[in-house]
Chain A
Amino acid sequence: MGQVKLDNVWKLYGTFEAVKGVSLEIHDGEFVSLLGPSGCGKTSTLRMVAGLEEISRGNAYIDAVRINDLDPGNRHVAMAYESYALYPHLTVFENVAYPLRIRKVPDGEITTRVNDICASLGITGYLNDCPSALSGGAQQRTGLARALIRPASVYLLDEVLSHLDATERTMLRAEIRRIQKLMELTALFVTHDQLEAMAMSDRIIVMNDGEIQQIGTPEEIYDTPANLFVAGFVGEPPMNIISVRRVREGGADFLSIVDQKVAASDLGVGWIPDLDEFFVGIRPKNVTLDTADSAAGIRGSVHTFEMLGDHTLSSIDLGNGEVVFVVDEFDVRLGLDDAVSIVLEPDHVLFYDPTSGDLLHRP
């Protein structure tokens, strides 16, 4: 069993509020990511679950037991660390065996279990080496093996992929997910990399400024970001956020984007918020380009154009510094300053409140 529950948890460092009233639940066998920029409180939250930081206010539960006052060793958690935190004086074998030695597991069983977990993480060749002799990837695999060798209610992974090179990161990312699925482990993973969070998680918790911004599946987070922060943080390139004014003329609604007026009905979205000003959010892949002179849509000029293998990325200047990113087919070729029109796919247009930054839901 592995369940984690945080109930209005705060972390204060002096007067600085690092974590402000976070409440969340992680269910048995679930892989949950805490995603956010550095300093957003995600690592503090994880360390409070581990017991490495005191919980300033609120309650934390693992398997329905309140853990606020328990030692890290008594919380039934296992952890892997950003900078590996291996025991420098011990070999890979002894590093991985360490939690078992502490638990006085018989030698024979230790050997079997260490060999098993090291095989599944691909570090069997390093068993007799000391950590300093290993690459970053092998060190992190050792760190993960040390965490996974023993049963725990929840496995805490603190930025475990951050220090690895790109290839190693992609490989290990998939392997961690595979092991977690196969062994049905409950995991809480901290990362600042939205791609990692997307790729690995059952659910993502986006944090900023000590507060939870959104909790949802990767699809929910990607398709309907709950506010402008999430919209800007998740996705690469990030979601386009376009400032829009609403104008009523002759009984019809018009949207004023920079200095261009577009009939609301032309946008095809069916509903627009009842506000004078708001933001339109749209993913770059949901914007289409039209180079024909007569094309309807919002007019602009090509600011930058990049070919990225299987697709192209262009930024379109609508004037006044309003730039829209567009991801398009590979066979499109644009020259700088070419005049183009952009069309937003109606189904994917989102509206955000300009003051709160929150998503405005269609009725």
Chain B
Amino acid sequence: MSDLQGKLTIAQSERRFALVTALPGLIALIVLVVGPLVYMFFNSFFVKTLAAPIPPRFTWFGNYGKVFTDTRFWNAFKNTMIIMVVGIPLQSLLGLSMALLLSKPFRGSRIIVAFFLIPVMITPIVSGFQWKIILDQRFGPMNYILGMVGVDPKAWLAEPFLAMVSILMMDTWQWTPFVTVVLLAGLAAIPKQVYEASSVDGSSTWETLWRVTMPLLKPMFTLVVLLRIIFIFKIFDPVYILTGGGPGISTETLSLLTYITGFKNFNVGITSTLAVVQLLIMVLIAKLFMNLVMKKRER
């Protein structure tokens, strides 16, 4: 009998290798993601609170009914959407113009890019407190600077509209550099010769931007917008530190509402329901967005 008898085929040994290398990740995924997710879905069907010694009671979709008829939920939903609808285009536009500015290397451009990353690198809670100081009504530099050009001091964090503006400001400050850096990578990946061809073909700078640069940046843009949709759904630090959702609940977002329900009111059932609802909305929006992008690409 030959030595070759009973040896593993290539396919068998590849499968075995794949299984061994993927196993740790798979276990972690099940324990840390799938498990809690299933438990969260499970909890969302129970009236369950940690604040009182009442045993959990199965309620079918009772929690969902409560959430969808709660004006506070819709308020938080509206606020999250406002941040998304205003913040993402604003940050994309600013990020794009800065990326275009920095895409042609000049003396010191590398240092500027490095400085640019600071807002992304600072712990959000720290930058939150920085912004709180900057926006302080009486002592903050913002009002001081505005005062120099003759603008009366504003109650940045105490007026509903300005409080929302403040959150958007901080979010934009924090995330525009991220957009810039991703788009810079996208710009660097466009071959120089394509620009040369475009200029020989007679395009103006604007035409090149619209007909060449922007279409070629689209994959990067898609990535950035998708990530920002997800991040804004999770937006917590600026809201928690700057306004705490206030004044009243005028800047409360879905993530903050979930936090308050869970860790201030200890209502496990409703919190789980809110989390499930957010997950579904997020998946829905991301799916709609991707469909839009894909459809355009097919055309």
Contacts and interface: CB of A to CB of B under 8 A. Distances in A.
Interface stretch (B45-53, B200-208, B241-249): B200-208
B193 A85 contact: yes
Contacts of B216: 88-89
Contacts of A81: 193, 196-197
Contact of A85 (B197, B202, B204, B218): B197
B211 to A, nearest CB: 8
Given A87-B212, A89-B216, A102 B196 contact: no
B201 A52 contact: no
Interface in A63-91: 71-74, 77-79, 81, 83, 85-90
A86 B195 CA distance: 10
A172 to B, nearest CB: 19
B200 A72 contact: yes
B202 A52 contact: no
A77 B197 CA distance: 11
A103 B197 CA distance: 15
A89 B196 CA distance: 16
5 contacts: A73-B201, A78-B200, A83-B191, A87-B194, A101-B211
A52 B200 contact: yes
Interface of A: 50-52, 71-74, 77-79, 81, 83, 85-90, 98-99, 101-103, 146
Interface residues of B, number: 18
B202 A102 contact: yes
A81 B202 CA distance: 16
Contact of A73 (B191, B200, B218): B200
A78 B215 CA distance: 23
A86 B191 CA distance: 10
A51 B196 CA distance: 9
A51 to B, nearest CB: 7
Contacts of A71: 199
Nearest to A79: B200
Contacts of A51: 199-200
Given A87-B212, A89-B216, A102-B207, A77 B194 contact: no
Given A85-B191, A87-B212, A89-B215, A98 B196 contact: no
Given A85-B194, A87-B194, A88-B194, A98 B199 contact: no
Contact of A103 (B191, B199, B202): B202
A100 to B, nearest CB: 9
Contacts of B215: 89-90
| Best-surrounded residue of B194, B198, B201, B204 (most CB of chain A within 10 A) | B201
A85 B195 CA distance: 9
A192 to B, nearest CB: 18
A77 B201 contact: no
Nearest to B202: A73
A120 B194 CA distance: 24
